Amino acid sequence: MFFTWSDVGELSRTIRRTPFEGVSEEVRGWSYTEPPVAPTYGVKLGVSDIVPGYCETGRNIYVKYVLHARQRPNSILERGYIVHSIHENAVASAKRIILTLTKISGDTFLENFRSELDYVKNRILSRTHVYSVEEASWLIEALWRKAGFIYSGEIEKALSRSRHLSRETLVSLVSPELAEFPVDGTLVGLTPTLRIDSLLPTGLIVEIKSRPFKEEYMLTLAGYALAFESQYETPVDFGVLLQVQIDERKRDIKFYKKIVPISDDLRSSFLERRDMLMASIAENRDPGMPEICNPACPYLHVCQPRKVADKP
């Protein structure tokens, strides 16, 4: 989750061995003036609206944009917020500390990084209301500790190669990722304020998930790739789904990475879903409810489903 150059190398090796037939020009993001990439309606949607991972029929869109209902927080979504927030804060803090510390070493970095934990923790806890404070505190501390060890180790590794690195170079050697990278998705019918969880140097986009893996999460990567390509005219062929598996009872956190080729089929499926959901808003059409709703959904109080699954 806190990417290093070793992770980038490992991902690139796996990608080189992954079969991939390439991407057709008409489903690249820069083909936004022609179908199928050209948006069919003027509505702008977030990637997480189109692929929420909790509503099979897409009724979440109708509830949000037609009924204008408010979301109600739940512990599953708050846990995801904590994971994303720690990721963004840890990357930002590590880079700032490396740039500003008078004397840099793995030890001095770790001391400073740890001293920021309470501030970060209090800020995150002030924005969570449902997830247990005890479990949230454990999760924040565990992820922060992990980030600290990773970055201090990377600093020592870089300094052992040369003591004369500029701080900017050291930052790029220790933390090569851009966390919460902003992308304007308007050209492809998405919102102007999209955020890619992590952008890695080889042009790899990463989506972090704290809920169990679902096939549909791969569509998220297609959405971000289309937006990125439309804005920067730079191809994005692969993405990574990073699943953060958290077991609060056993106090255990595991990370699983899945390489996803952002193929023509994946792009087409995302675009079809985008168009179908845009049409449902434009026509005020209720797409109906699934057989069973997901406990991660923040609109359960609006739809009041008869059945809610035990697990997300």
Binding site for ligand SF4 (CB under 6 A): 54-55, 59-60, 63, 289-290, 293-294, 297, 299-300, 303, 305
Q: Smallest gap, in angstroms, from Cβ of residue 289 to ligand SF4?
A: 4
User: Residue 155 or residue 297: which is nearer to ligand SF4 going by CB?
Assistant: 297
Q: How far is CA 142 from the centre of its chain?
A: 19
User: Residue 54 or residue 113: which is nearer to ligand SF4 going by CB?
Assistant: 54
Q: Smallest gap, in angstroms, from Cβ of residue 209 to ligand SF4?
A: 17
User: Residue 112 or residue 294: which is nearer to ligand SF4 going by CB?
Assistant: 294
Q: Smallest gap, in angstroms, from Cβ of residue 49 to ligand SF4?
A: 11
Give me 169's structure tokens: 């170079």
Q: Kindly give, in sequence order, each residue whose CB lies less than 8 Å from that of residue 300, ignoring residues fewer than 6 positions away.
A: 72, 74, 293, 308
DSSP SS3 for 204 = strand
Q: Kindly give, in sequence order, each residue whose CB lies less than 8 Å from that of residue 201, ignoring residues fewer than 6 positions away.
A: 8, 176, 177
Place of tokens 């102007």: 192
d(CA 129, CA 206): 27
Q: Smallest gap, in angstroms, from Cβ of residue 67 to ligand SF4?
A: 10
User: Residue 59 or residue 274: which is nearer to ligand SF4 going by CB?
Assistant: 59
DSSP SS3 for 231 = helix
Q: Smallest gap, in angstroms, from Cβ of residue 72 to ligand SF4?
A: 10
Q: Smallest gap, in angstroms, from Cβ of residue 291 to ligand SF4?
A: 10
Q: Smallest gap, in angstroms, from Cβ of residue 227 to ligand SF4?
A: 24
User: Residue 50 or residue 63: which is nearer to ligand SF4 going by CB?
Assistant: 63
Q: Smallest gap, in angstroms, from Cβ of residue 281 to ligand SF4?
A: 14
Burial of residue 172 (CB within 10 Å: 0-12, 13-18, 19+) is middle
User: Residue 153 or residue 287: which is nearer to ligand SF4 going by CB?
Assistant: 287
Place of tokens 């080889």: 202
User: Residue 59 or residue 209: which is nearer to ligand SF4 going by CB?
Assistant: 59
Asked if the bond preceding 36 is cis, omega within 30° of 0, the reply is: yes
End-to-end CA distance of the chain: 21
Give me 246's structure tokens: 């958290």
User: Residue 81 or residue 149: which is nearer to ligand SF4 going by CB?
Assistant: 81
User: Which ranges of 210-263 does DSSP label H, i.e. alpha helix?
Assistant: 217-232
Q: Kindly give, in sequence order, each residue whose CB lies less than 8 Å from that of residue 307, ignoring residues fewer than 6 positions away.
A: 291, 292, 293
Instruction: Tell me the CA distances in angstroms from 9 to 53, 95, 176, 237, 292, one per residue in order.
Output: 29, 21, 11, 16, 41
